Amino acid sequence: MSSPLENTKLFTPLTLGNITLKHRVVMAPLTRDRSPEHIPDDFVDEYYAQRASDGGLLISEATHISVMGGNYHGVPGIFTPEQKRAWKKTTDAVHKKGGFIYCQLWHIGRVAHPANMGGRTPLSSSATEIEGNVVYFTPKGPLPGVKAAEMTFEDIKITIEDYVHAAQTAIDAGFDGVEVHSANGYLLDQFLCDNINQRTDKYGGSIENRSRFPLEVTDAVIAAIGADRVGIRFSPFGFYQETKSSDIHGQYGHVMAECDKRGLAYVHLVEPRSDLMNSDSVKQQQLRELAKAQGKTEEEMLTIKPFREILKNTPLITCGSFNAENSLQPLESNTADAIAYGRYFISNPDLPHRLAKGLEFTPYDRNTFYTTGREGYTDYPTYAEAKL
């Protein structure tokens, strides 16, 4: 048991663009690999519906915008009629429970593998590769990564069109909005980070230029579906996929200040402490060292507060290692407006209820995060079912 949070700010309404939530417990995007042929499997609607709650927001797993967007084996897309039809089942099931669902739009850039893209070479800001990269989600199992090709202006133009098509398809499939994935070292982050983006044209060489493509994508998606249905995700402090901006606050501060002018539904940030490869304590030590190197205080490097100050007009969702004990602090200090939970939402389909009532969490089993079928997917019980 932990303290019931039902009478705290976590369970107060929040407006994000065109939707008004009844509580601030958000499901984070989570890759689950249950989409054979890139189409959500028959039971994907059940998984999301189990996690839906009245007035609660779910963000879908990262979903490819096109074949060149990466087409990871087992990962869904949102660009074909079959994908649209399958996702419609999910959005209907979530809405039936009074919930909301956004679709996370994903292009993985240089992290992709030709084996998933008809032999085509992955595209990125520059012709780079991740040292020793292994791509796990291919039909042949893990394969060594390859070097990407630098995107031409034509590639950039087509990719913006792909984002727009995917956003429109998501809305047609019944999603309440889309989240542009500009985090975790995937394509848009490959433009933001100056250790990856080596361009000397209008898409590289300065903070403004490196922000150009992510903002062009955002603007095109806004023009297609409206800013009140568009969110965007950043991980300014992330090192995943070899991201290392030499000026974290300058680079991400600029792109977020631009986002703040656009009236987006929300900005979604990954907490500095949270890392896809390392423990929270290892990550915090790395950031302390980086603070010294970039002339920042530990306080600046270990919190999202500097970005909250920039996002004056935009609701802010924060994500990364949140639980029943540490969720209130960002809300009460006004550092964030909502909290996204990932791993605990996998093993606790009724997570908002458990947080509200102070009920124990079921532990998650990492071994079934990326397997196929229902095991570890739709078979985690609610608290009430577990106690029957």
Catalytic residues: 186
- 127, 149, 207, 276: which one binds ligand PHB (CB under 6 A): 276
- 2, 8, 31, 347: which one binds ligand PHB (CB under 6 A): 31
Nearer to ligand PHB, 23 or 233 (CB): 233
Phi, psi at residue 80, to the nearest 5°?
-110, 160
| Distance of closest approach, residue 221 Cβ to ligand PHB, in angstroms | 18
Q: Is residue 116 a contact point for ligand PHB (CB under 6 A)?
A: no
Q: Is residue 183 a contact point for ligand PHB (CB under 6 A)?
A: yes
What span, in angstroms and rounded, lies between the C-alpha atoms of 332 and 110?
39
Tell me the pairing of strands 123-124 and 134-135. unpaired
Give me Rg for the CA atoms of the chain.
Answer: 20
Nearer to ligand PHB, 55 or 238 (CB): 238
| Distance of closest approach, residue 320 Cβ to ligand PHB, in angstroms | 12
Nearest to 252 by CA among 305, 178, 321: 305
What span, in angstroms and rounded, lies between the C-alpha atoms of 275 and 269?
12
Q: What is the DSSP letter of 337?
A: S
Q: Is residue 103 a contact point for ligand PHB (CB under 6 A)?
A: no
CA contacts within 13 A on the Cβ side of 272: 20
Kindly determine how many residues on this chain lie close enough to bind ligand PHB according to the rule CB under 6 A. 5
| Distance of closest approach, residue 275 Cβ to ligand PHB, in angstroms | 11
Phi, psi at residue 61, to the nearest 5°?
-55, 155
Q: Is residue 62 a contact point for ligand PHB (CB under 6 A)?
A: yes
| Distance of closest approach, residue 245 Cβ to ligand PHB, in angstroms | 17
What span, in angstroms and rounded, lies between the C-alpha atoms of 122 and 163?
17
Phi, psi at residue 332, to the nearest 5°?
-70, -30
Q: Is residue 53 a contact point for ligand PHB (CB under 6 A)?
A: no
Nearer to ligand PHB, 22 or 51 (CB): 51
Q: Is residue 184 a contact point for ligand PHB (CB under 6 A)?
A: yes
What span, in angstroms and rounded, lies between the C-alpha atoms of 209 and 346?
38
Q: Is residue 243 a contact point for ligand PHB (CB under 6 A)?
A: no
| Distance of closest approach, residue 73 Cβ to ligand PHB, in angstroms | 11
CA contacts within 13 A on the Cβ side of 1: 3
Q: Is residue 35 a contact point for ligand PHB (CB under 6 A)?
A: no
Nearer to ligand PHB, 10 or 62 (CB): 62
Nearer to ligand PHB, 62 or 178 (CB): 62
Q: Is residue 248 a contact point for ligand PHB (CB under 6 A)?
A: no
What span, in angstroms and rounded, lies between the C-alpha atoms of 385 and 239?
39
Residues in the site for ligand PHB, rule: CB under 6 A?
31, 62, 183-184, 276
